[in-house]
Amino acid sequence: MQHKFYPKIVLLPVVLAALLATACQRTGTSDHSSGSVSRTGFFFDTVVSLTVNGTDDDSVLDECFTLMENYEAMLSRTRENSDVWKINHSSGKPVTVSDETASLLSLAMKYSELSDGAFDITIAPYVELWDFKENPGTVPSEADLAEAGSHVGISSLRLDGNTVTLDDPEAAVDLGAIAKGYIADRVKEFLTSQGVESALINLGGNVLTIGNRSSSSPWNIGIRDPLGDSDDIITSIRISGKSVVTSGTYERYFEKDGVRYHHILDPKTGLPVQNGLESVTILSNSSAEGDALSTSCFVLGLEKGMELVESLDGTEALFITDEQELCCSDGFPKE
């Protein structure tokens, strides 16, 4: 069942799930306030920020940033010698990858199946045709999309332990729809192992929390208005220890002749999905699963996406339409 609701004004301090990409350095800028350390940086083509409460020692942040750097070196499609780069340059030959890459590929394949192919990490040949950094960008020709599409399809990807084979030498994988969530989970795991009891991990809109913001209040996470400015919040949710991940048209796009061409692509056509949705937010325990699911649900659309969410335990969703309607699953926390 889906519910529509209209947001109320929020009085608690709100953390906006999507950060502004301004003046950030790769190594990060740090901030100290008493009993809390935070840092902002740039990884995975996006702004990341970490806040850890209950300490003044920011060496824990150094370790988190090193961890993220290592994962980027492992999982990036464009970084030479990453596991993904090796898979994509294997010319159809088997490649040995790390345990972590193998387990992430396995999770991605599970979501391909769960979403009936809406989620497909072999989307890379299409992704390479779109340039969202230019504005206005170039819309790929039908012929180029058809040629790229002939190499898209999860059935060409085989995983056997740590051995990965792409049967089609022209096929390629892109973990952009799941890697940030996976890395957020690993950062949380590390911080928890260090005894951290309160933290906020924000990897470009993939928000993962540890504990509460303070002894008296949970974390209050703002959900961006997908059609508003970058700091416009349409609603917010209070959570502790959970993940909130959003897939939205505003994250990467260009506009041409009045059309917003965004980065969430239909694996059948290679075109940006146009189904009346502007964003999908998933509330879950695992950020990797939330990340895979937010993209899956966006591609599936409101009806089928909601059906998928309602079939999964411990997972809730908020869909926002191009009419700025908010539709949420049964257990989604309303303000």
- List interacting residues with Mg ion (CB under 5 A): 177, 291, 294-295
Binding flags for ligand AMP, 136-175, as an x/- string (CB under 6 A): --------------------------------------x-
Burial profile 63-79: b = 16 or more Cβ within 10 angstroms, e = fewer: ebbebbeebbebbbbee
| Integer Rg of the chain from CA | 19
CB of 251 to ligand AMP, least distance (A): 5
| Cα–Cα dist 184/207, whole Å | 8
- Of the two residues 198 and 247, which places its CB atom closer to ligand AMP in the complex? 247
165 with 113: CB under 8 angstroms? no
3-state secondary structure of 24: coil
Task: For residue 282, give the H/E element and its range.
Answer: strand 277-284
Binding flags for ligand AMP, 295-324, as an x/- string (CB under 6 A): x---x-------------------------
**Which residue of this chain has its Cβ atom nearest to ligand AMP in the complex?**
176
Of 90-98, 214-222, 293-301, 313-321: span binding ligand AMP (CB under 6 A) = 293-301
CB of 311 to Mg ion, least distance (A): 18
By CB under 6 A, is residue 119 in contact with ligand AMP? yes
Residues 235-274 interacting with ligand AMP (rule: CB under 6 A): 247, 251-252, 263-265, 267
| Cα–Cα dist 237/277, whole Å | 20
243 with 284: CB under 8 angstroms? yes
Residue that has been written with the tokens 């599970």 in this structure: 110
Q: Which residue from 123, 171, 184, 227 is in contact with ligand AMP, where contact means CB under 6 A?
A: 123
CB of 35 to ligand AMP, least distance (A): 33
- Of the two residues 32 and 110, which places its CB atom closer to Mg ion in the complex? 110
- Of the two residues 65 and 119, which places its CB atom closer to ligand AMP in the complex? 119
Cis peptide before 136 (omega within 30 of 0): yes
- Inter-axis angle of helices 99-114 and 59-75, nearest 10: 70
Torsion of CA 322, 325, 331, 335, to 10 degrees: 120
CB of 45 to ligand AMP, least distance (A): 9
By CB under 6 A, is residue 176 in contact with ligand AMP? yes
3-state secondary structure of 262: strand
Tokens of 35: 């009993």
Q: Which residue from 38, 40, 88, 294 is in contact with ligand AMP, where contact means CB under 6 A?
A: 294
Binding residues (CB under 6 A) for ligand AMP: these are 119-121, 123, 127, 174, 176-177, 247, 251-252, 263-265, 267, 291, 294-295, 299
